[in-house]
Structures are given as structure tokens and as C-alpha cells.
Structure 1
Amino acid sequence: MRFALIVLLACSLALAEAGTWKQSQDYTMDDLDRSPKWLDSSSDAWPQDVTGYPESNWLIHKVEKRMERLHNTNEQIRTRIIDYVSEQLRRCKSGNIMDEHCVRRSVGYAMSFINNQERQAL
């Protein structure tokens, strides 16, 4: 009887700890929106129809950081990248709602496109 009680107590503590850990690991777009420094003056190049959504700020930030590291960057390449990513973000819109999961899936496409543009510029 004691053994069963101890096992039950240990299992309930483990489940409670796992739930707390899971909550601390979840991060939502709300967490990302609290950082206004993400969108700097270079963000003026992005179309208003995609920057008006907090969910898009995350991808825009990642793309801008990646473009900063481009070796042979010029305005034409930058414009192509912004146009491509903006189109990806527009596909994630449904009415006045931006699908957060769609935005996250678009990261790989955007980074691949940037790599292709960089290779073509070399």
C-alpha cells in the first residue's frame, strides 16, 4: 500500500514538473512582439500589408538579419528578397488574420531563396 502511494506521488510530481517545463518552453509570437528593436529603420522597405501583423515581424527580423550577412548585397538582390518574402507572407494571410504556423513554415523557403540569390551574385 505504501509503495503504491509513493509511486502515485512520484508520478504526479513528475507530471506536474513536466507541465511546468512545457509551459516554460512554449514561446509565442506575443513574446516576440515585446521587442520593438526588431523592426529598425530598414524595415521601411517592407510593404505595409505584411508589416501590419505581429506574426510577420518574426520572419521579417530573421530575413533582415540574414541579409545583413550577405557578402555581395546590392539593392536589386535586396528588393528581390523582400518581394519574395512579402509574397510568402501574403500567402499566410486569411482575411485579416496572419497564420503563425504558416509564417514559421516560410522561414525555410525564405532562407533557401536568400542562399540562392547569394550564390547567383557570386
Structure 2
Amino acid sequence: MNSTLAILLISALVVVQARNIRSSEEDNSSQVPSLSHSHPHSIKWPCDVGHFPEAYILMHKVDKRLERIDNESTKERIGNYAVSQLRQCILDGQMDVHCVRRSIGFTMSFIHHQMSQANGM
């Protein structure tokens, strides 16, 4: 229970921080954009999903899991699955945060399944 509460609190802080960063970037729009301003997300993620702050929670969780995986084809399958989940959450040009939250569970389950298959070989 305490760990779930901690995870929710951290996730909320990440979303708030991402929104603050995004709004401060918009305030500094008169400056020439650097690579970090035009791509605030990891280069591992496509821009069509990576620029939504709502997606950062899932992207962060997947990135952390991928750090523990050595097999490149497994990493690619997991990354593609996560991107497809995020793309399904884009509605009318906006990322549906509730859809992203549901996708976290689906993606973590997919990662577990991929890891089980890799270990079973």
C-alpha cells in the first residue's frame, strides 16, 4: 500500500514537473531552440508520442525496464509495443492520460511476458 502511494506520488510529481518544463519552454520561445528544447524526451521515443508530457510516465517506466535487458530484439519489440500503446492514446491531437495509465499495465505485462519467453529459451 505504501509503495503504491509512493509510486502515485512520484508519478504525479513527474507530470507536474514535465508541465512546468513545457510551460517554461513556451515562455522562452523567443530564444533559438536547442536540441533539448525541440526534443525534451529521450531520443529512443518517436516525436509523435514523445512530446506529450502525459506519456512521460510510461516512457520512463519502459526505459528503466529496458536498462535491464541485454537482448536488442527484445528491446525493440518492447519499444514498438509501448509506442503503439501510446499512439492509441492520442485523441484529437491530445494524449488521453487515462489511456496512458491503462497502457502502463498492459505494457508491463507485455514486458514480463517477453522476459519470460527470453528466459525460457
Shorter-chain TM range is 0.5 to 0.7
Which string of whole-angstrom CA distances, capped at 9 and with x for unpartnered residues, describes residues 7-52 of structure 1?
Answer: xxxxxxxxxxxxxxxxxx7x3764241589xxxxx93121111101
Between 1:44-53 and 1:85-94, the stretch displaced more is: 44-53
Give the 3-state SS of the residue equivalent to 1:62 in structure 2: helix
- 1:85 corresponds to 2:70: no
Percentage of pairs with the same residue: 44
TM-aligned CA distance change 1:29 to 1:103, over 3 Å: farther
2:117 pairs with 107, 113, 120, which one?
Answer: 120
TM-score by length of 1: 0.65
* Secondary structure in structure 1 of the residue aligned to 2:42: helix
Contact 1:59/1:103 (8 A) holds in 2: yes
1:95 to 92, 101, 105: 92
- Aligned pairs for 1:1-122 (under 5 A) are 27=12, 30-33=15-18, 43-70=42-69, 73-122=70-119
Aligned CA RMSD, in angstroms, stands at 2.4
User: Does the CA contact (< 8 Å) of 1:50 and 1:56 recur in 2?
Assistant: yes
Asked which structure has the greater CA Rg, the reply is: 1
Tell whether the 8 Å contact from 2:15 to 2:56 is kept in structure 1 after alignment.
no
Structure scoring higher RCO (CA < 8 A, sep ≥ 6) equals 1
**Where is the helix percentage greater, Structure 1 or Structure 2?**
1
Which structure 2 residue ranges, 5 or more long, are not aligned? 1-8, 23-40
Is the 1:32–1:58 contact (alpha carbons within 8 Å) kept by the matching residues of 2?
Answer: no
5+ residue gaps, structure 1, are 1-24, 37-41
